[in-house]
Amino acid sequence: MTALLAVLVAILGLVSLALMAGGERRYSSAEYYFRAKEGGLTLSQARYVRDTARLAGLDDPAAALWSPRELDICIGAVRRRLRAQGRERDRDALELLEKLYEFRRKLEFDQPRYKQGIRGSRQIAQGTKLRLLVHGLGVFDCALLDNTERYLVVSSPSSAIGGLPRGFSWKGRRVSVYFWRQEDAGYVFDTYVIDELRIRGTPVVHVAHGEALFRTQKRKSVRARSSIPAYLYIMKRLEGAYEKPETQSGMRCVVQDLSDDGFAVLIGGKGKEGLQIKAQFFLDEEQVVMSGVVRSIDWYPDRNRSVLHVEALKPSPRTRDVIRSYVYEAATPAAPRRAPAYGEENVFAAPDRVF
């Protein structure tokens, strides 16, 4: 009898090790419902999600509340199931999707890459766009060309507002350096310019390293890179009709990244901060209208184009649902199939000049 028990224990141990090695942990019902409650799901909503995950073919339906990838699959299945039931626009359905997307957002930002920042300027990646704030003069844009042990080599700083005073020299200037680290947060540090010179005919400046970086503006929503043809409208005021579709064609542009709280749009010409704008485009079969205020600009003088970074007004539940489904790739394809409905296939090959 003792020998039989020993054999059973050994078999169970081997099975457990095999499951752990394959990353296939099984979650109990108690664990699942406790986590669902933590995420704000009611008992009936938790059952609906688990049943839908099972219908979607997940090996362990309960794992959807632990795995971003499996939750994406589950959310897509929930959307399709609600649509088949004719309930996709019901208040209860939108409430459930809102909770699932919020849970998905938390899962995303619990991942290590969003929590591990950088401590010194030697960790800034080559090609990062920088902004230099010079007291009394304004903000200047540049890019990190090289990151050496002794200093940062950046392109000659330029301003969208105008040129520099006659006789101005960067050498010895105290500056505050701002930059955004992809999939992380914004950073700022104080330093000074060591020298300005030319390297193979290209003007550059050497900026001293900063050892005390202040991490700010942590990303609060998940964004998706995109290339979505859109129409852009400059608004005098956003209140009242910020999601109302326009009937006339606007200025052609391209939405380059998208989230439910903002977007970046490529335009022709030099952009301006503080503009109130509306962007209109399609995500699959759904028309989306987003409005907001231009908070910052990336200006590319060699191509005479700008990227406007827009802080959006809070979208309606319906619009937020459509955007999130695109961002998380749960139910909407990455390439919007309805975009050419505005005109011919190549109508958005280049954005209109806005300014």
How many CB atoms lie under 10 A from the CB of residue 156?
14
pLDDT tens profile 201-219: 889 999 999 888 888 766 6
**Would you say residue 253 has pLDDT above 90?**
yes
Q: Quote helix, strand, coil % in the chain, to nearest 5.
A: 30, 30, 40
Q: How far apart are the C-alpha atoms of 238 and 276, rounded to whole Å? A: 7
Average pLDDT over the chain reads 81
Two structure tokens written together for 83: 């649509």
In the prediction, which pLDDT does 116 show? 67
**Would you say residue 265 has pLDDT above 90?**
yes
User: Predicted confidence band at 348 (pLDDT cuts at 50, 70, 90)?
Assistant: very low
pLDDT tens profile 19-50: 444 445 678 888 999 999 988 999 999 999 99
pLDDT tens profile 241-251: 678 888 888 99
Of residues 271 and 20, more confidence is placed in: 271
pTM for the whole thing? 0.63
Residue pointed to by tokens 């970046």: 264
Q: Which domains are assigned to the chain?
A: 27-114 (no CATH), 121-212 (2.30.110.10), 224-342 (2.40.10.220)
How far, CA to CA in Å, does 78 sit from each of 69, 81, 95, 104?
Answer: 14, 5, 12, 14
How far, CA to CA in Å, does 69 sit from each of 93, 200, 283, 343?
Answer: 21, 48, 21, 36
In the prediction, which pLDDT does 19 show? 45
pLDDT tens profile 307-333: 999 999 988 888 888 898 888 863 333
pLDDT tens profile 147-188: 999 999 999 988 756 677 788 889 999 999 999 887 677 899
Cα 255–Cα 220–Cα 243 angle in degrees, nearest 5: 45
